[in-house]
Structure 1
């Protein structure tokens, strides 16, 4: 009886330690968006410019973490689900501000409009001229959401590169995206098309966004870790 009681208490104590460890593990979601965050099939790892900063911050802070790749909306919604759930690379917008702790910025991207060469949309010179056309983008992405809020005609896809096919077939006439992303796809040999950047809309900082219920002390530690990696 005494031995059984000791065994039970030891098991209970061990289970509690495991639970605490799991509770403090960060679940980090991201999307396939090279060169900032993407899956490298050769190394079998999630890599990229933003990923490197996230990994350094987590390791410097000494917290356990996992990074998983999802379609953007799923990645974003996972970060809303529980404390210590985070998502990157995330644009910091007014409607998102109160939902997350913001760590970063990690990288800066450009929001720009692209058109297929030789089409009427290729001749526009300012954003207002785009109102006559349908603009494609990624479902849930801040850039497309902002254009939709301003009354532009928009269409969305759940996989970003599908916009290329829609633009080639003129199911959309403009595509909002980052030129660095498009150039990366071109450089790695992805099937491409003749396009032109017609309008730069903005330069935007992207962050690691962590669920608002994540302990503030841990967030401050992560912020310091990102800042330290930037200063090196």
Structure 2
């Protein structure tokens, strides 16, 4: 009878362990773009150099996932690779990601992780006055390929020369090949610092946007709920 009771207790304990679930889920892979203050570089072949990034969004993501006690890894890749994998695979996530209507069926958005600004930059000595979309008409403008900011401008009828590497836009701006550069404030600051180029002039702050951790919605429902619940806490600003 004692042995039977012990076996029942063991079975109950195992049931509780496995029903709690989230800490024994398949390992999560969190994709992160390899660029800027939010993003850390890879080698020339696009292979991840390090996932030991310490920017505000990475710190926030680690804080959230550590609360859930799920096994995870942060993998650094180019944006197209990162987005494709996170969009098509369960137990995958991606950050930093802006929340847009077309992504709501693909991702569960966790956060916000940070806030940054959409900014139109000109050369430091430029006297261009820009404070509306109309002021951008007729200008040679450089932007980051597939970014939400670039997509917004093109949808408004503004022509943007898109490049897959935003750092090249600062070089083009500095050398006079474009009149304005549209990017995020943290990207501009990081790129100028790393390239040792003069910081461009912020001619117009279009708006502030929040960025999130996006988790593929095919991920286990209990795990998704646990991650969302773990995300409660103060907003970490990009200026922190």
Query: What range describes the TM-score normalised by the shorter chain of this pair?
Result: 0.7 to 0.9
Any idea what the Cα deviations from partners look like across 1:23-45, whole Å, max 9, x if unmatched?
7111111113443343599x872
Q: Is 2:84 the counterpart of 1:84?
A: no
RMSD: 2.7
Contact 2:35/2:41 (8 A) holds in 1: no
Q: Is 2:50 the counterpart of 1:48?
A: no
Q: Is 2:37 the counterpart of 1:35?
A: yes
How many residues are treated as equivalent by the alignment? 209
Any idea what the Cα deviations from partners look like across 1:97-135, whole Å, max 9, x if unmatched?
222111110000100100123446x32232221021132
Q: 2:150 aligns with which of 130, 144, 150?
A: 144
TM-score by length of 1: 0.80
Q: 2:211 aligns with which of 196, 202, 206?
A: 206
| TM-aligned CA deviation for residue 214 of structure 1 | 1.4
Contact 1:39/1:47 (8 A) holds in 2: no
**Bigger CA drift: 100-109 or 122-131?**
122-131
TM-score by length of 2: 0.77
Q: Structure 1 CA distance, aligned partners of 2:24 and 2:208?
A: 37
Q: Is 2:128 the counterpart of 1:126?
A: no
| TM-aligned CA deviation for residue 226 of structure 1 | 1.7
Tell me which stretches of 4 or more aligned residues in structure 1 moved more than 3 Å. Answer: 117-120, 184-187, 228-231
Task: Give unpaired runs (5+ residues) of structure 2.
Answer: 1-22, 44-49
**Which has the larger share of strand?**
1
Task: Give unpaired runs (5+ residues) of structure 1.
Answer: 1-20
